[in-house]
């Protein structure tokens, strides 16, 4: 690799933004200049230049050290979005860690800035318009892992996996009260009322079988940290099952609300987090697993409650 160094001393005619100096010095395009800066090829007075907006004054020494045969492409900027973090991405899928307080998809009221909207904007960043295809959902006040398809065909393959209950979804929850059993299973048939509340009922054409497995991770004086594994994935399933058992999820405004209130759980969110997601990659066929750490709200609560 033959490296070349070009240098110039800034005079009154070219002082100002460093990118203009670099472009004049190198004779390359604007995108190539951005790439040179991103790859650490540009320095000002011997110090690395990290932004195109850096200003140079008369007497400054601007240098470029680069391989003329190499094309220096601009690096993709880190996406900063309060609604999600990207855990994994390839040409077919994207796995994100959703923040609590974000709707996965719009309701009938036409909500804006839902997760699917934000992920679609991310996928379209510096590219032509692209759409994120929804595979599964999390409640608004629940955080954690979700996978989206980048193409409709890929999303359909993933949806089929979820229908067949192949993906493994593991949650962490802090529930009210001290659970006596170290592990167990909740099984019932769930239906949705006119007010959209989900409730347990007898088997019928309008009720769906729901199965939730749990394991106690930590018992505290008046709450319990549990690991929850879904066998089925019905709406509000975990919240309803634990509330019906007398141990509602902390912060739940809909199921077991009075018991779910706790003086140390002050967040406007539910103490439920999708922490692990495993499935078969819809294109490669490889088994993949993604993990998300406990949110700061969980860690803070657990440190205060023994």
| Residues labelled as active-site residues | 139
Q: How far apart are CA 73 and CA 146, in angstroms?
A: 30
Q: What stretch of H or E contains 155? A: helix 152-163
The answer to whether the CB of 122 falls within 8 A of the CB of 151 is no
- The dihedral region occupied by 117, where left means phi > 0, alpha psi between -120 and 50, and beta the remainder, is alpha
CA dihedral 54, 72, 29, 5 (to 10 degrees): 70
Closest CA to 104 of 232, 274, 288: 274
Length of the chain: 306
Q: How far apart are CA 37 and CA 77, in angstroms?
A: 13
- DSSP conformational letter for 255: S
Closest CA to 228 of 187, 173, 297: 173
Helix axis angle, 30-38 relative to 18-26, nearest 10°? 110
């Amino acid at each position: 690799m033959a490296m070349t160094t070009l240098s110039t001393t800034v005079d009154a005619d070219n002082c100002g933004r460093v990118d203009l100096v670099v472009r004049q010095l190198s004779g390359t395009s604007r995108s190539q200049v951005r790439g040179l800066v991103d790859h650490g090829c540009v320095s000002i007075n011997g110090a690395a230049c990290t932004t195109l907006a850096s200003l140079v004054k008369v007497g400054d020494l601007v240098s470029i050290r680069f391989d003329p045969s190499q094309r220096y492409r601009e690096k993709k900027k880190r996406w900063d979005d309060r609604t999600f973090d990207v855990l994994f991405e390839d040409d077919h899928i994207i796995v994100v860690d959703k923040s609590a307080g974000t709707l996965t998809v719009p309701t009938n009221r036409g909500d804006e800035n839902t997760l699917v909207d934000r992920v679609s904007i991310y996928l379209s960043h510096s590219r032509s318009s692209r759409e994120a295809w929804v595979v599964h959902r999390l409640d608004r006040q629940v955080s954690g892992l979700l996978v989206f398809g980048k193409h409709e065909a890929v999303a359909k393959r993933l949806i089929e996996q979820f229908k067949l209950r192949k993906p493994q979804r593991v949650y962490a929850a802090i529930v009210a009260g001290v659970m006596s059993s170290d592990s167990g299973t909740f099984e019932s048939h769930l239906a949705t009322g006119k007010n959209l509340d989900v409730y347990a009922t007898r088997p019928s054409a309008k009720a769906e079988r729901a199965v939730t497995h749990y394991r106690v991770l930590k018992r505290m004086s008046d709450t319990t940290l549990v690991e929850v594994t879904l066998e089925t994935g019905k709406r509000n399933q975990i919240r309803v099952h634990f509330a019906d058992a007398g141990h509602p999820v902390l912060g739940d405004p809909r199921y077991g609300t009075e018991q779910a209130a706790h003086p140390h759980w002050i967040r406007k969110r539910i103490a439920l987090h999708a922490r692990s997601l495993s499935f078969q990659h819809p294109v490669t066929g490889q088994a993949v697993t993604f993990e998300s750490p406990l949110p700061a709200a969980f860690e803070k609560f657990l440190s205060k409650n023994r």
